[in-house]
Structure 1
């Protein structure tokens, strides 16, 4: 039994990604050996080999937090899974319920803990969830990071209600999940994009309004007008300081802006200050994915509403990982970039 595995050796860019043959991991008493069939990439995976990731990571790690596969073997004390079960990795291995703590924040798969761009991986039984029955392995592999981050944004602090307004930015994985989850919950969605063709796809996914942020640089005020002047209850903020100023213009009283990324860069021309949370009477929160409890809650909603994650048309193989990273870095993708692992 071989185990082809990628490793991140250094921080020199995508050439730091090395493919090698690893031994199949030994299974401890409480561990589960997973044979991976699908993985998906996140912006985080691209910045780790570039040395731009602000959270825990170790040199030589197997990349990618997101993986779905079948249970190949279980340790003698495992009770949660049996051989043949279909499972997905949990992003922060120790984050079972409630808030992150100083211990669980150090357990990120693909950063500090070996990830999913390999044929076999072993995880503590607590660090896996059962796959939703309506999804295939590639679809399921998109849930670990992007799916759960969107779910936490909409439900983690203040529960999204039917009739609420949600503002999403762009067409990355988290933003698209947020559109799908919001529509399934009976909420209304305003989505931003800079591309007319991506705007059409957002409408097909259920977005009520699509704003082109290149043509309408004051899209935050436009969004507020679309809600009849009340503002949006939830913003899924992926852009960083430059989009934050507009998000604050769009937010309703007691609304929540969830900061989940900084793809627009970490430096802003128009840095908002913390005072703007007072002048807009809103909550701004940072979040790092979510707990296993939330993951299981989300999976029940995915099954009940038959939500299908959106996958980019181009699916890559395990030996094409570097090309897949470059393709995503060049922003040639729509929604989730997936890698098939046989």
Structure 2
């Protein structure tokens, strides 16, 4: 998960306002960041600071300190029920939370305590998978803005089970790619 102060949300021309591509193409390099994996982001990723939610259970407090108590304007909430409360606490007074998931294998829905809810007037936007035309719009936005996935490592197909185990354990910063047909990522 990454957070960062940013100007008011404005999608690039042609991108639907509430679409994932409109959001993704607009995200600036994060200022303070919080990441689930226990690794440091590559310098090219642009984070000035990283707060690991596994090492710092009350990570919203740490991010608040990094922003001089103001919180962040945009939260991309990928952890759903496991991290939504902290995301609300880290949001600036009128911040935005882009909610990617509302459930996990362990918890079927999100719950926000009164204390967290009362700490912000953030807007929560739910993002859904869209139509084919939206998918094509997203691909154009990715191409135009030169967005590239963060790849942690590439493993050969023969190590696919290891790749899934490592991904499930949260030990990667970015994607774990499974190479097929000799593709090794080089």
Which TM-score applies when normalising by structure 2?
A: 0.64
In structure 1, the gaps of 5 or more residues are 1-96, 100-147, 161-180
Kindly state the Cα deviation for residue 220 of structure 1 after the two structures are TM-superposed. 0.9
Residue 174 of structure 2 aligns to a residue whose secondary structure is coil
CA distance in 1, matches of 2:166, 2:52: 23
Q: Where does 1:18-29 land on structure 2 (aligned, <5 Å)?
A: none
8 Å contact kept, 2:17–2:23? no
Give 1:250 deviation, angstroms: 0.8
Q: Which residue of 1 aligns with 2:168?
A: 329
In 2, the alpha carbon distance for the partners of 1:192 and 1:264 equals: 20
Count of aligned pairs: 165
Residues 202 and 210 in structure 1, CA contact (< 8 A), matched pair in contact too? no
Q: Partner of 1:210 in structure 2?
A: 50
Distance in 1, Cα, partners of 2:127 & 2:37: 25
Choose which of 128, 134, 150 in structure 2 pairs with 1:288: 128
Aligned to 1:338: 177
1:329 is paired with a residue of what secondary structure?
A: helix
Instruction: Look up the SS of the partner of 1:314 in the other structure.
Output: strand
Alpha-carbon contact 2:95-2:123 (below 8 Å) kept: yes
Give the alignment of 1:280-319 within 5 angstroms: 280-317=120-157
Aligned twin of 2:107:
266
RMSD of aligned C-alpha atoms?
3.8
Shift of 1:251: 0.5
**In 2 relative to 1, CA 194–316 (structure 1 residues): closer, same or farther, beyond 3 Å?**
closer
Paired with 1:311 and 1:194, the residues of 2 have a C-alpha distance of 13
What is the deviation of 1:230?
A: 2.5
Contact 1:203/1:209 (CA < 8 Å) preserved in 2? no
**2:89–2:119 Cα contact (<8 Å) kept:** no
**Long gaps (5+) in structure 2:** 1-15, 182-186
Q: What is the 5 A alignment of 1:54-93? A: none
Residues 247 and 294 (structure 1), Cα distance of their counterparts in 2 relative to 1, 3 Å cut? same
Q: Is the 8 A contact 2:63 2:71 kept in 1?
A: yes
Moved more, 302-311 or 249-258: 302-311
In the TM superposition, what whole-angstrom CA distance separates every residue of 1:75-125 from its partner, at most 9, and x where no partner exists?
xxxxxxxxxxxxxxxxxxxxxx798xxxxxxxxxxxxxxxxxxxxxxxxxx
Paired position in structure 2 for 1:20: none
Q: 1:295 to 1:233 in 2, by over 3 A?
A: farther
1:232 paired residue number: 72
Does the CA contact (< 8 Å) of 1:316 and 1:324 recur in 2?
no
Q: Is the contact between residue 236 and residue 258 of structure 1 (CA under 8 Å) also seen in structure 2?
A: yes
> What residue is the counterpart of 2:33 in the other structure?
190
CA distance in 2, matches of 1:225, 1:291: 40
CA offset digits 1:285-327 (Å, max 9, x no partner): 332344555544544444444333222323333x765554344
Larger Rg: 1
Distance in 2, Cα, partners of 1:154 & 1:307: 9
Provide the secondary structure at the position in 2 that maps to 1:182: coil
